[in-house]
Structure 1
Amino acid sequence: MVGRLRAKGLLGELAAEFAGTLILILIGVGVVAQVVAGGIGNHDSIAWAWGLGVILGVYVAGRISGAHLNPAVTVALAAFGGFSWRKVLPYSLAQTLGAFVAALLVRWNYTEVLGKLDPGHTIKTQGVFSTLPGNGALPVHLWGGFRDQVIGTAILLFLILAVTDLRNNSPLANMAPVVVGLIVVAIGMAWGTDAGYAINPARDFGPRLASFFTGYGTAFRDQYGDLYFWVPIVAPLIGGLIGAGLYKVLIGRFLPGPTEPDAVIEENEQRVRESQPA
């Protein structure tokens, strides 16, 4: 019985990660399609919409799965936050699938305007779905994009841990998604030039696959012809570990431990969650 309950619990968590990432990408890739193909909005529209997508995705999934919505977050929490390593691959696959399905919906909905702007479905509109070094136009190459993604994701994880650490001055639980969304807005406004701030392997690879299967034959390469798809996968995973590790070293180890009542409450809540069917 316990095993079945745990299996159902994991299924619920994966469904939540799928749904939360789906919402994130519907808003995020949708706004890029609107700006690039529809000519409505600008860089600020993109930065704010991605942040709103994070907020809404976290509100959707947070109660059930913790709303990682990002394999870099999942891996970093497994390494430094006590998250179960056995859930890392299932979470990452659910996140990537959610991003893939969302991107297919965006691709379908924007078929006409994408086709008018870029009939050959080339690198000109590939950036709607996945990132490119230098946003496809500036003199930034593969390793510049790699460097950028390591730094950007390190910032993301450092700040996520800072605002979700209950021992720190964390926001109230119902406001944490808003603050995390604002972190993404800030990164987008300050770190979007060199590589489009993917900072999330699922966010990049899921839509990249969707674009490849719907006519973008060069989806896995950048504007220089280099095989680029792996950069927004590997670099964010490394950056997330660095950012989470730095938080633990610079801040986390100096904070007081949780009080006994808080620990007891958390333990009781965990027992209640495990005893209930998903």
Structure 2
Amino acid sequence: MKDLEQALELGVSQQKRFNASKPKVWLRNECVRVGLAETLCTYIMMVFGLGSVAQVVTGQGAFGEYLSINLGFGLGVAMGVHVGGKVSGAHMNAAVSFTMCTFGRLGWKMLPLYVFAQLLGSFLAAGTIYGVYYDAIHEFCGGNLSVTGEMATAGIFATYPAPYLSLMAGFLDQILGTALLLLCLMALSDQRNKPAAAGTEPIAVGLLVLLIGISMGRNSGYAINPTRDIAPRLFTAVAGWGMEVFRAGNGWWWVPLVAPPIGGVLGAGLYKVLVEMHHPHVSEPGEGLMEEFDEETAPLEKQKKICANTCTIPDLLLDNMLSMSIAKLTKPDP
């Protein structure tokens, strides 16, 4: 009987030890977790992106050039995906969230949460960069916070069109840029095509943003993101640049707000109609492609089973110890 009691005590202590090693979950509400993650990853992306612009503008080319701005935003996006990718998906872009809702990959009820989180993250990032570069900005412009001209600094935070660009041309520019963004994002996540290799998704998305920047940034700075543009623009309006931020460029402010969602839906829809809808099924010609896909996903399924089994380790240990103890007690003496 003593052996049985000792076995029970040992099993209980093992159970407590395993339970104590489990990490505590402080926030169980899914909406709160998603909102915080989306806010933080957007903030990270915008701090690096806006910081790279501020360094180029205030340094007058001595501390970077246009390419460094593209690299700043591209790498900032990659870091943002690392920060919130597994929690919120790291959209960091209202056009992405809207497109995901349109194609059923995100519930419409989650859209306001995503948009609010992105606006908050972008606004806070603008405030952070303004604080960090406050002295540099005022040294550069002589204390005159202007929106246009050689000493303009509002472009550090929001996008403005080139002098030659009309509103219609800029509207089409933003539609095309966002369409390419979402088309390529759909391809990078398509598990039945050639998706980004596991673990390389952040850098792949960052390179995509870099590619759009170095090929389509001349006209208006490739905003391709409503929340990235409007939140910092609002910040500059209250931080000293005034309402001119909404009048500049013939009232440009609404273009990066309206055009990207349209472009996002068009780009994702184009990929879906021309590629995704025509993937062969297992029973059709091209079965080898599906077999290759099954082989690629097999390790993931195996990992899921392993994770499921490890969750029962304490119970298995307790059962094994009890069984051994009972067998020892009931074993006849020689």
TM-score over 0.5 (shorter chain): yes
Could you tell me whether the CA contact under 8 Å between 2:39 and 2:118 is conserved in 1?
A: yes
Among 28, 37, 40, the alignment partner of 1:19 is: 40
User: Aligned equivalents of 1:111 and 1:175: distance in 2?
Assistant: 36
Q: Does 1:222 align with 2:248?
A: yes
Could you tell me whether the CA contact under 8 Å between 1:31 and 1:49 is conserved in 2?
A: yes
User: Aligned equivalents of 2:187 and 2:97: distance in 1?
Assistant: 16
Name the counterpart of 1:209: 234
Name the counterpart of 2:328: none
How big is each residue's C-alpha offset from its partner over 1:54-109, in whole Å with a ceiling of 9 and x where there is no partner? 00000000011111110100011111252111101110110111000001000111
User: Aligned equivalents of 1:142 and 1:177: distance in 2?
Assistant: 33
Give the letter for the 1:251 counterpart. Answer: V
Counterparts of residues 195-206 of structure 1 (less than 5 Å): 195-206=220-231
Name the counterpart of 1:176: 201
Name the counterpart of 1:126: 154
Give the letter for the 2:154 counterpart. Answer: Q
Among 42, 53, 77, the alignment partner of 1:54 is: 77
Name the counterpart of 1:33: 54
Counterparts of residues 56-71 of structure 1 (less than 5 Å): 56-71=79-94
Shift of 1:146: 1.1
Which has the greater radius of gyration?
A: 2
Q: In structure 2, the residue corresponding to 1:190 is in which secondary structure?
A: helix
Unmatched segments (≥5 aa) in structure 1: 273-278
Give the letter for the 2:247 counterpart. Answer: R
Q: 1:6 to 1:104 in 2, by over 3 A?
A: closer
Q: 1:130 to 1:185 in 2, by over 3 A?
A: same
Name the counterpart of 1:255: 279
Among 260, 275, 279, the alignment partner of 1:236 is: 260
User: Aligned equivalents of 1:170 and 1:222: distance in 2?
Assistant: 41
Name the counterpart of 2:106: 83
User: Aligned equivalents of 1:9 and 1:255: distance in 2?
Assistant: 33
Could you tell me whether the CA contact under 8 Å between 1:27 and 1:53 is conserved in 2?
A: yes
User: Aligned equivalents of 2:203 and 2:145: distance in 1?
Assistant: 35
Shift of 1:143: 2.1
Name the counterpart of 1:276: none
Could you tell me whether the CA contact under 8 Å between 2:174 and 2:224 is conserved in 1?
A: yes
User: Aligned equivalents of 1:151 and 1:64: distance in 2?
Assistant: 29
Give the letter for the 1:203 counterpart. Answer: R
Could you tell me whether the CA contact under 8 Å between 2:27 and 2:33 is conserved in 1?
A: no
Give the letter for the 2:195 counterpart. Answer: S
Give the letter for the 2:217 counterpart. Answer: G
Shift of 1:6: 10
Could you tell me whether the CA contact under 8 Å between 2:126 and 2:232 is conserved in 1?
A: yes
> Identity, % of aligned pairs?
40
Aligned positions, number: 260
Give the letter for the 1:89 counterpart. Answer: P
Could you tell me whether the CA contact under 8 Å between 2:94 and 2:261 is conserved in 1?
A: yes
Question: What is the aligned-residue RMSD (CA, Å)?
Answer: 2.3
Could you tell me whether the CA contact under 8 Å between 1:167 and 1:256 is conserved in 2?
A: no
Could you tell me whether the CA contact under 8 Å between 1:107 and 1:211 is conserved in 2?
A: no
Shift of 1:141: 2.5
Shift of 1:255: 2.0
Could you tell me whether the CA contact under 8 Å between 2:178 and 2:260 is conserved in 1?
A: yes
Give the letter for the 2:144 counterpart. Answer: G
How big is each residue's C-alpha offset from its partner over 1:99-135, in whole Å with a ceiling of 9 and x where there is no partner? 000010001111111112222211111111000111x
User: Aligned equivalents of 2:137 and 2:166: distance in 1?
Assistant: 26
When the two structures are superposed, what TM-score results if normalisation uses the length of structure 2?
A: 0.73
When the two structures are superposed, what TM-score results if normalisation uses the length of structure 1?
A: 0.87
Q: 1:7 to 1:233 in 2, by over 3 A?
A: farther
Shift of 1:221: 2.4
Unmatched segments (≥5 aa) in structure 2: 1-25, 282-289, 309-334
